[in-house]
Amino acid sequence: MAVFTEVEFGEADALVQRLGLGPLRELRGIEGGIENTNYFATAESGEFVLTLFERLHAEQLPYYLCLMKHLAGRGLPVPEPVADPAVQPPSGHALTIPANAPCELLLKVAGKPAALVQRLSGRSELAPGTAHCAELGAMLARMHLAARDFPRIQPNLRGLAWWNDTVPVVLPYVGESQAALLRAELAYQNHIAESSAYAALPRGPVHADMFRDNVMFATGEPAGAAPRLTGVFDFYFAGTDAWLFDLAVCLNDWAIDLSTGEHIAERADTLLAAYETVRPLNAAERALLPAMLRAAALRFWISRLWDFHLPREASMLKAHDPAHFERVLRERATHPHAMAQSLEPLPA
């Protein structure tokens, strides 16, 4: 959520007024993140987040925006995009709508594709406990189930095909042992993807980036009250993929020691148990969770290497340290049975 493109106050004001939100009162750039330009926008009618998409093309964006609207319409705490009244949404009831079909939620600001979404309440918890993990696990499962009938289909654009394309690009920037690990893990993940167990994994829309800073919890609760999840945002890595991969991404952030990359069993067990209270894993998922934990670590190691060694200019850009997910991947590969107790067969 860096600022790559400067937006003039007058242009943003004209936009929110055209969308029927009243005059703009404040526009403030958001620091952090590495993909898009983001601003907090305070209008007469409420608080919003204005996003300008720096890497994604207009053809890719309807999937993300319509998924957010779909989930918000199912009562999930997801930021709902504001529709452009001048654009008519697709009509009809096709079982499958192309991912890039026209979308009334896609805007244009400063020459870039953009979206304006409701700003959610709460704050991110960067040092989560088991109670936060329980809230997250249940929410993730509800989100997967709520998106089952989402009609658009778009592959995970940062999935296996992207890993295969990007590893050769980053190899010149890493040491010999890192290069060996990247090659070996990529070969392993290609092998897993060809297996019958992988083909049996349930699939649907996934968030694919549900890190601690993309989830918010209620603030101002009475002392000692259990945390309450109030928002999940930043869906711009979403795609159609295995739900298990989405779960692995969460476990690799929420149940990992950030200083060492080591597995935190109590948090992981709680997150997984909460997920399974809503949607129990099937046999293929239980067998492949260790492999998907490695896959999720590899995905973010590759992307962080790419962003770190091939950065873009931005007024608030802070690239993440790629070494963190190298440590996570090494831990997951060295201790593949770290979650074995959590994965014991469910009682009949």
| Rounded-to-integer distance, Cα 77 and Cα 211, Å | 16
The predicted pLDDT at position 315 comes to 45
**Residue 247 CB contacts under 8 Å (≥ 6 apart), including other chains:** 140, 272, 275, 289, 292
Whether 348 has a pLDDT exceeding 50, the answer reads no
Crossing angle for the helix pair 176-193 and 160-170, nearest 10 degrees? 160
Tell me the pLDDT band of 55, cut-offs 50, 70 and 90: confident
Whether 34 has a pLDDT exceeding 80, the answer reads no
6-20, 99-113, 251-265: the lowest-pLDDT one = 99-113
| Rounded-to-integer distance, Cα 146 and Cα 144, Å | 6
Q: What is the pTM of this model?
A: 0.90
**DSSP-assigned beta bridge partners for residue 123:** 217
Which pLDDT tens digit goes with each residue over 136-192? Answer: 999 999 999 999 999 999 999 999 999 999 999 999 999 999 999 999 999 999 999
Q: What is the dihedral of CA 249, 296, 60, 183, to 10 degrees?
A: 170
Only one residue has tokens 């201790």, namely 335
Q: 76, 207 in Cβ contact below 8 A?
A: no
Q: Which of the pair, 345 or 45, is modelled with greater confidence?
A: 45
Round to the nearest angstrom and report the end-to-end CA distance of the chain: 46
**Tokens standing for 322?**
């790629």
The predicted pLDDT at position 145 comes to 98
Q: 296, 339 in Cβ contact below 8 A?
A: no
The predicted pLDDT at position 1 comes to 44
Which pLDDT tens digit goes with each residue over 189-231? Answer: 999 999 999 999 999 999 999 999 999 999 766 667 889 999 9
C-alpha to C-alpha distances, 126 to 215, 217, 229, 253, nearest whole angstrom:
10, 11, 13, 10
The predicted pLDDT at position 320 comes to 82
Whether 347 has a pLDDT exceeding 50, the answer reads no
Which pLDDT tens digit goes with each residue over 279-318? Answer: 999 999 999 999 999 999 999 999 999 999 988 665 445 6
For the chain, give the percent of residues with pLDDT over 90: 79
**DSSP-assigned beta bridge partners for residue 256:** 263
